[in-house]
Amino acid sequence: MAAGTPPLADTPALRPVARTPLHEAIAERLLSHVVQSGLQVGDKLPGERELARRLGVSRTTVRQAIVVLQTQGILEVRHGGGTFVRELDPSSGPLAKVVDRRHRLTAVLEARRALEIPIAAHAATRRTSEDLAAISDGLELMRRQVEAGEIGLEGDGAFHGAVTAAAHNPVLAELMERLHEAVAETRGESLSQSGRPPRSLADHEAIAEAIADGDADRAAAAMRAHLDHVADLRLFELYPAAAPAQEADR
């Protein structure tokens, strides 16, 4: 240790970062699938092999995740019959967590509307040839991913990042960066729904065309329509948001 350097204090901030075991993270994804897919008590989940393929993990990890949800009373495994939904109580810990996330995603989507609609309008009037090339690259990446059967999340992020850069407003760009993880979650939830990636790609094409044409009003309208589609999540439909206090008492 260099002379004059004080010993490193053993503060909580410098202790190892706790990591969520993979099977617990997969259990949460399975629970989100139950909610997003609108599954009801008695409905059957896909088989372990199919779940492992779609989640990109081993069957052992899927099996461990199912055991977690089985222990919580949410799923029931019938030997030789498959895995079924046993109970859906929104007040229970695991489902309450999903409901809390639903409220958070709603707030994130409101922020996206406030930021990304004017961003698209500014991009249409301020974009450079380099900006248009970056937007096109993001669009092409998503197209390749969707055509390959993927959800296109990487291309989606690249496209929106390029549109934000094309607005040439450092404050808006900083705000979007601060929301990066939360915004990525809304994209992931939306694109994970059946049939959504091609629709999102079409939305992006409309936004890109309006920006390329320099039409601010059309770019804003196209972004608004896209965010309307993003907001149409099954996760938001199973347990509606609580009514505001002033309305709940009416």
Q: Where are the domains of the chain?
A: 20-85, 93-238
pLDDT bracket for residue 35 (50, 70, 90): confident
Q: What is the pLDDT at residue 171?
A: 98
Residue type, position 81, single letter:
G
Angle between helices 196-212 and 180-191 (to 10 degrees): 120
Q: How many residues does the chain have?
A: 250
Tell me, yes or no, if the two domains 20-85 and 93-238 fold the same way: no
3-state secondary structure 44-82: ECCCHHHHHHHHCCCHHHHHHHHHHHHHCCCEEEECCCE
For the chain, report the end-to-end CA distance as a whole number of angstroms: 68
pTM for the structure as a whole: 0.63
Give the SS3 label for residue 205: helix
Angle between helices 93-126 and 153-166 (to 10 degrees): 40
pLDDT bracket for residue 234 (50, 70, 90): low
pLDDT at residue 162 above 80? yes
196 or 119, which is more confident? 119
Give me Rg for the CA atoms of the chain. Answer: 22
Residue with tokens 């698209």, as numbered in its chain: 120
pLDDT at residue 14 above 70? no
Please name the residues in contact with 212: beta carbons below 8 A apart, sequence gap of 6 or more. Answer: 127, 132, 135
In the beta sheet, which residues pair with residue 44? 84
Give the SS3 label for residue 84: strand
Give the SS3 label for residue 125: helix
Question: How confident is the prediction for the chain on average, in pLDDT?
Answer: 83
Specify the range with the lowest mean pLDDT, choosing from 5-14, 45-54, 111-120.
Answer: 5-14
Q: What is the pLDDT at residue 2?
A: 52
pLDDT bracket for residue 235 (50, 70, 90): very low
Residue with tokens 């059957």, as numbered in its chain: 44
Domain 20-85 belongs in CATH node 3.20.20.70: no
Give the SS3 label for residue 33: helix
Task: Tell me which architecture the domain covering 93-238 has in CATH.
Answer: Up-down Bundle (1.20)
Task: Find, among 41, 24, 29, 23, the residue nearest to 238 by Cα.
Answer: 41
Give the mean model confidence (pLDDT) for residues 100-123.
90
- Residues 98 and 74: beta-carbon distance below 8 Å: no
Share of the chain above pLDDT 90, in %: 51
Q: What is the pLDDT at residue 240?
A: 34
